[in-house]
Structures are given as structure tokens and as C-alpha cells.
Amino acid sequence: MEDNKNINDSKEAKDNRLIKFTTDDGNVINLYAIADTKLNGRNYVLVSDSEDDMEANAYILKELASDNKEVAYALVDDKTELDAVGEVFNELLDDVDIVDDVEE
């Protein structure tokens, strides 16, 4: 079963859309949540590296763990998982095309 939800565009929601993602080497990157979904019991978030740029890079994060204050995410890098979750987001968001441009 999947649960889909667009991230709300209200002022309150925009403040909550920012995800501070810490890379393995300790760098903090600001990512902006576009939508989230649940697939096979796991939470996923579609994020962008720009809040306004229509040509921004997009990433799919999967939730690894959460508590009341923080959520741990990892980039989805498995091609099968990426294709499945990407298809859900493509269906959820009519005006967004998710293209896998990862070189194999």
C-alpha cells in the first residue's frame, strides 16, 4: 500500500520543507521537499537542490530512522528501487518528469 502526499505550499509548510542533509564527508546541503510517499512500508521524499529553479537537480531520499526531532535519510541509489519510487512520484506530480540520469 502506498500513501502519497504533496508538500503543502503555505508559509508554514515552506518553513518545514527545508531538509538539511549531511553528506558522508560532513558537508551540509540544503534540500527542499517537493513530495513524499510511502511504498512497501518505507517513507520516501522527493527533494530538489533549489527551491525555485525549474531545472534543479532532484533526488529521492529514503527514511532510515526517525525520532521526535530528527529523521535520518539516505539517497536512493539502487536502480530498481529508484525506478519504482520514481514512477510513484511521476504519477503523483503531473508537472514533474523524473529522469534517471545516473551513468551506469
Count of helix runs (H) and strand runs (E) in the chain: 2, 6
Question: Tell me, what's the pLDDT at 56?
Answer: 84
Look up residue 32 and give its amino acid.
Y
The whole model's pTM is what?
0.75
By residue count, the chain amounts to 104
The CA–CA distances, whole Å, from 56 to 22, 39, 44, 53, 59 equal 19, 25, 19, 5, 10
Look up residue 97 and give its amino acid.
D
What average pLDDT does the structure give for the chain? 79
How do residues 12-57 score in pLDDT, each as one tens digit? 444 568 888 888 899 999 999 999 999 999 999 999 998 887 778 8
Torsion from C-alpha of 88, 91, 95, 97, nearest 10 degrees: 50
